[in-house]
Amino acid sequence: MSKTFTRRSFLRITGALGAAAGLTATISACAPASNDSGMQSSAPEGPVKDDGTIEAAISYELGTNGYDPMTTTSALTVAVNWHTFEGLTEMDPATGEIYAALAQELPKSGDSTSVDVKLRDGAMFHNGDKVTADDVVFSFERVLDKENKSLYASFIPFIKSVTKKDDMTVTINTEYPTGVLADRLAVVKIVPKKVVTADAKAFDANPVGTGPYKMTENGANKVVKFERFADYNGSRPAKAAKMVWNIIPDSSTRINSLQSKSAQAIDSVPYLNIDQLAATHAVESKQGFSVLFAMFNNDASNPFAEVKNRQAFLYAIDIDRVLETGMKGQASATTSFLQENHPNYNKAKVVYTHDEDKAKKLFEETGLKKLRMLCTDHDWVRQCTPLIQESLKGVGIEVDFTERKSADVYNTIDGKPEAYDVVIAPGDPSVFGKDPDLLMRWWYAGDTWTETRMHWKGSESYTKVQKLLDEGLMASDESDAQKKWNELFDLISETVPLYPLFHRKTPTAWDSATLSDFKPIDVTGLSFLDVGSTK
């Protein structure tokens, strides 16, 4: 038996995610191929134009960070970066497939701890500079540098170093062989060393990448604009000459932009409007990992350092009511860390169903009678959080309820253990990868979440989780890895420092008469890779 996964064996459990989470996801409403019900044909009504323009409306705002792929994690900037940056490898946002991007071919680690990766011939940055091994080494070093506090470093703990072999080849040195190497290289986008070192702030605001589109307006005025990068020579050339994304957080305005034909696609369709839009447009709601989570303040000075309070909070929530009333059935209750259609799903040891008696008993044991609940103000989240508040009141808990923009929530709590008790917010690390190790590492490894936000680092359960994560990544075969992940699902369900309340579907609407080969995705945002326009 090999001491590690081969890429082929590992992808039997993780590569299938593109099909399970991206292609065969549950569909709540989808435009038929004919116009029998007054809905649009799935084929464009005119020829795709080489000089065409794609127009979209996206719900998430720019936030406090810019586009630097070392640090940004916001929905808007990540979606933009799918089109403007490349890693050595990339993950298709629609299918989950990993493919060679700036690498000439997918690297195969096998049993080796040293892998050479040759760069794509002729690859250029948007400023006209050639991509070199120096740029690749620089891009990895800045992510791995602890001083930079990049969240993406937690996804590649096995990379020891990336060194230059020659101008067009790098050597990736790992602590141990791993079958996820090709998948994880996608989280590090390659940036131009000369540009970033000259002015990092300017790069953050107006980034320079190698992707099929070049950003020409950065969203500061509520619109992001792109143009085709003429010197792009990779496998995903731009099929439209331009793109215009209007930033429209208001759902009614966003829907109107689609109906008035000023937008050809919108993300985050309100669940109440799915049937309405399905009468005239293509609408698809895809089940993925995307969650609404409860994050607890685990600091020793906070009442939620006591696990009984965390468990009681989850038992108190009438989740069926939240799903039916708040989400209109567009989500599934949590029975494990992963959603049930995930290939690596395993039911957790503890499943939190609505149990007022158990919640009351646990709260009585701890004496907790009041809590501060800080919530984001995303439109769909706002349909759920008042219901959560009502559930808590129903078991005798007084709730100090505060609602803020997502960026403001984290600005309020980061590094401030006195600032909150519970945060309710959305999250979806599956935009970076689909395997269980990556999804768990997003929240349960790395200092940003574990130390700065939930103040959980250093606890007994934290230490156990880190050990199991490492053992799963180094497991000798897929069945051993699954056993470790199952142990993690159980441990996290018992200790719940942060835990999903439900896994939601992601609804997208688009004009199939003017967009060619558009695919909705099961994560936040919009992807126009390989998409053409008749406009």
pTM to 2 decimals?
A: 0.82
Q: Do 78 and 90 sit in the same domain of this protein?
A: no
What pLDDT score was predicted for residue 37? 31
> Quick one: CA dihedral 510, 516, 520, 523, positive or negative?
negative
Q: Which residues of 100-118 are buried (b: 16+ CB within 10 A; e: fewer)?
A: bbbbbebbebeeeeebebb
| Structural contact between residues 69 and 86, judged by C-beta atoms closer than 8 angstroms | no
* Phi, psi (rounded to 5 degrees) for 416: -130, 85
| Structural contact between residues 41 and 510, judged by C-beta atoms closer than 8 angstroms | no
The residue with tokens 């969240």 is 151
| % of the chain beyond a pLDDT of 70 | 92
Question: Is 170 domain-assigned?
Answer: yes
The residue with tokens 């039997």 is 12
Q: Alpha carbon of 359 to those of 69, 97, 351, 476, 497: distances in Å?
A: 42, 42, 13, 41, 17
Q: Do 334 and 375 sit in the same domain of this protein?
A: yes
Q: Do 228 and 252 sit in the same domain of this protein?
A: yes
Q: Which of 73, 135, 7 is nearest to 431 (CA)?
A: 73
Q: Do 330 and 383 sit in the same domain of this protein?
A: yes
Q: Which residues of 230-265 are buried (b: 16+ CB within 10 A; e: fewer)?
A: eebebebebbbbbbbbbbbbebeebbebbbeeebbb
Per-residue pLDDT of the chain (535 residues; tens, 9 = 90+): 333 333 333 433 343 333 333 322 322 333 323 233 333 445 788 899 999 999 999 998 887 679 999 999 888 999 999 999 999 999 999 988 999 999 999 998 777 899 999 999 999 999 999 999 999 999 999 999 999 989 899 899 999 999 999 999 999 999 988 878 999 999 999 999 999 999 999 999 999 999 999 999 999 999 999 999 999 999 999 999 999 999 999 999 999 999 999 999 999 998 889 999 999 999 999 999 999 999 999 999 999 999 999 999 999 999 999 999 999 999 999 999 999 999 999 999 999 999 999 999 999 999 999 999 999 998 889 999 999 999 999 999 999 999 999 889 999 999 999 999 999 999 999 989 889 999 999 999 989 999 999 999 999 999 999 999 999 988 877 888 899 999 999 999 999 999 999 999 999 999 999 999 999 999 989 999 999 999 9
Q: In what order do the strands lie in the sheet with 159-166?
A: 114-118, 169-174, 159-166
Q: Which of 184, 161, 183, 186 is nearest to 172 (CA)?
A: 161
Number of other CB atoms surrounding residue 308 within 10 Å = 16
Question: Is 19 domain-assigned?
Answer: no
Summary mean pLDDT of the chain: 90
Q: Is 83 exposed, middle or buried (0-12, 13-18, 19+ CB in 10 A)?
A: buried
**Which long-range contacts does 310-313 make (Cβ < 8 Å, 24+ apart)?**
310/495, 310/496, 310/497, 310/499, 311/350, 311/352, 311/362, 311/496, 312/358, 312/359, 312/360, 312/361, 312/362, 312/363, 312/366, 312/368, 312/395, 313/359, 313/371, 313/392, 313/422
How many structural domains does the chain have? 3
Q: Do 218 and 243 sit in the same domain of this protein?
A: yes
Q: Which domain holds residue 234?
A: 45-84+211-281+511-534
Instruction: Spell out the residues 6+ positions from residue 119 whose beta carbon is closer than 8 angstroms to its own.
Output: 88, 102, 103, 104, 131, 132, 133, 136, 168, 169, 170
Look at residues 201, 222, 242 and tell me which one is the last residue of a structural domain.
Answer: 201
Q: Do 482 and 516 sit in the same domain of this protein?
A: no
Q: Alpha carbon of 153 to those of 56, 73, 188, 528: distances in Å?
A: 32, 13, 9, 27
Question: What CATH number is given to the structural domain containing 495?
Answer: 3.10.105.10
Tokens of 367: 């004496």
Q: Do 494 and 363 sit in the same domain of this protein?
A: yes
Q: Which amino acid is at 396?
A: G
Angle, CA 58 vertex, CA 67 and CA 238 arms, to 5° = 70
Residue 194 parent element (H or E) = helix 193-198
Q: Do 110 and 160 sit in the same domain of this protein?
A: yes
* Phi, psi (rounded to 5 degrees) for 475: -60, 150
Q: Do 170 and 58 sit in the same domain of this protein?
A: no
What pLDDT score was predicted for residue 29? 31
Question: Is 267 domain-assigned?
Answer: yes
Question: Is 521 domain-assigned?
Answer: yes
What is the secondary structure of 379-438 as a DSSP string? HHHHTTHHHHHHHHHHTT-EEEEEEE-HHHHHHHHTT-TTS-SEEEEEE-GGGT--SHHH
Q: Where are the beta strands (DSSP E) in 297-386?
A: 331-333, 370-376
Question: Is 206 domain-assigned?
Answer: no
Q: Do 240 and 264 sit in the same domain of this protein?
A: yes
Question: Is 18 domain-assigned?
Answer: no
Look at residues 178, 201, 224 and tell me which one is the last residue of a structural domain.
Answer: 201
What pLDDT score was predicted for residue 24? 29
Q: Do 117 and 249 sit in the same domain of this protein?
A: no
Look at residues 149, 183, 201 and tell me which one is the last residue of a structural domain.
Answer: 201
Question: Is 24 domain-assigned?
Answer: no
Number of other CB atoms surrounding residue 377 within 10 Å = 14
Return the DSSP state at 7.
H
Number of alpha helices (DSSP H) and beta strands (DSSP E) in the chain: 19, 18
Question: Is 92 domain-assigned?
Answer: yes
Q: Do 118 and 220 sit in the same domain of this protein?
A: no
Question: What CATH number is given to the structural domain containing 192?
Answer: 3.90.76.10
Pairing of strands 265-266, 53-58: parallel
Return the DSSP state at 374.
E
Q: Which of 498, 380, 495 is nearest to 439 (CA)?
A: 498
Q: Is 303 left (phi over 0), alpha (psi -120 to 50) or beta?
A: alpha
